[in-house]
């Protein structure tokens, strides 16, 4: 594996009872980037990530994670990787600080627990029992447990499921801060807005295969896709026009109406539009 890659996968395969969950998947993730893995339920995302984390054996293919095959990784490799599952566990009667200190003892050179608690925005809750935390605060605690070992690579599984919009955006800032500190992040998410906000690149999986890897702005030709311009015509009807030159259409309409165009809407394909089209074509 080249030194600029944190993850390198080629021809990955995994089947369950003769049904392929992962079917010849290729993937590369650069060091220092945020990579979002997208796909419907049953697409093979979880199996792929579990193989990368070293929790599940593969049937075929080559896998390098931080220069090591996770299927035969030594304990020292585990200290370089952080994993944040959808739920780490229940610690109802323990304080936040007690939980983080407990997990820190698993590693030979952990970050100071107080620093980690501050980093994830839980300093004011350090002495609170975990059962008193909100859903967003519990998720921050999950991240604290995943980064206390100073991981080079962090796996995030559906990190903001159930968050309200404010909590989700606060959590995004935490993730950006981790990346700014040099951590490579692989996340799975069903929130297309989240992938667009956070990811340097996204990969779409369906049927155990990687359909495409690209930046959020260019996935599926999104950056060159046709734009729909709609407006309210003089006779009261709603009109629309697909075009490769939306600016020219708007200029023409502005001239026709002598200025403002009634109920003008310019719609470019969203990441969700492209994603749903890609997944639909595989159905």
Of 28-42, 141-155, 268-282, the one with minimum mean pLDDT is: 268-282
pLDDT for 283? 61
The per-residue pLDDT of the chain, averaged, comes to 92
pLDDT for 226? 87
Instruction: Work out the pLDDT band at 201, boundaries 50, 70, 90.
Output: very high
Instruction: Work out the pLDDT band at 88, boundaries 50, 70, 90.
Output: low
| Cα angle value 94/85/153 (rounded, 5°) | 110
The verdict on pTM exceeding 0.85 is yes
| Helix (H) or strand (E) segment spanning residue 69 | none
Instruction: List 8's β-bridge partners, or say none.
Output: 28, 64
| Arithmetic mean of pLDDT, 50-68 | 96
* Cβ atoms of 263 and 230 closer than 8 Å: yes
67: left (phi over 0), alpha (psi -120 to 50) or beta: left
pLDDT, greater one: 178 or 163: 178
Sorted by sequence, the CB contacts under 8 Å of residue 72 that are 6+ apart come out as: none
Instruction: Work out the pLDDT band at 39, boundaries 50, 70, 90.
Output: very high
pLDDT for 2? 52
Instruction: Work out the pLDDT band at 1, boundaries 50, 70, 90.
Output: very low
| Arithmetic mean of pLDDT, 19-34 | 96
Q: How far is residue 63's CA from residue 136's CA, in Å, rounded to a whole number?
A: 33
């Amino acid at each position: 594996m080249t030194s600029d890659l944190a993850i390198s996968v080629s021809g990955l395969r995994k089947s369950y009872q003769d049904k392929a969950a992962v079917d010849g998947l290729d993937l590369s993730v650069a060091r220092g980037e945020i990579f979002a893995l997208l796909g419907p339920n049953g697409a093979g995302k979880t199996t792929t990530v579990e193989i990368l984390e070293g929790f599940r054996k593969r049937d075929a293919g080559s896998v390098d994670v931080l220069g090591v095959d996770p299927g035969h990784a030594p304990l020292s490799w585990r200290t370089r990787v952080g994993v944040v599952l959808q739920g780490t566990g229940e610690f109802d009667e323990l304080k936040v600080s007690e939980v983080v200190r407990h997990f820190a003892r698993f590693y030979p050179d952990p970050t100071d627990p107080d620093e980690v608690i501050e980093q994830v925005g839980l300093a004011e809750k350090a002495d609170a029992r975990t059962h008193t935390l909100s859903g967003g605060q519990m998720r921050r605690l999950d991240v604290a447990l995943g980064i206390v070992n100073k991981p080079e690579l962090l796996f995030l599984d559906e990190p903001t499921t159930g968050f309200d919009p404010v909590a989700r955006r606060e959590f995004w800032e935490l993730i950006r801060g981790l990346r700014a500190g040099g951590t490579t992040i692989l996340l799975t998410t069903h929130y297309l807005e989240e992938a667009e906000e956070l990811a340097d690149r996204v990969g779409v999986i369906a049927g155990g295969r990687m359909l495409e890897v690209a930046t959020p702005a260019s996935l599926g030709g999104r950056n060159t896709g046709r734009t729909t311009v709609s407006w309210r015509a003089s006779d009261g009807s709603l009109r629309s026009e697909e075009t490769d030159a939306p600016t020219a259409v708007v200029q023409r309409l502005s001239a026709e109406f002598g200025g403002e165009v009634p109920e003008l809407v310019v719609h470019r394909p969203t990441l969700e539009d492209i994603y749903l089209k890609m997944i639909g074509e595989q159905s």
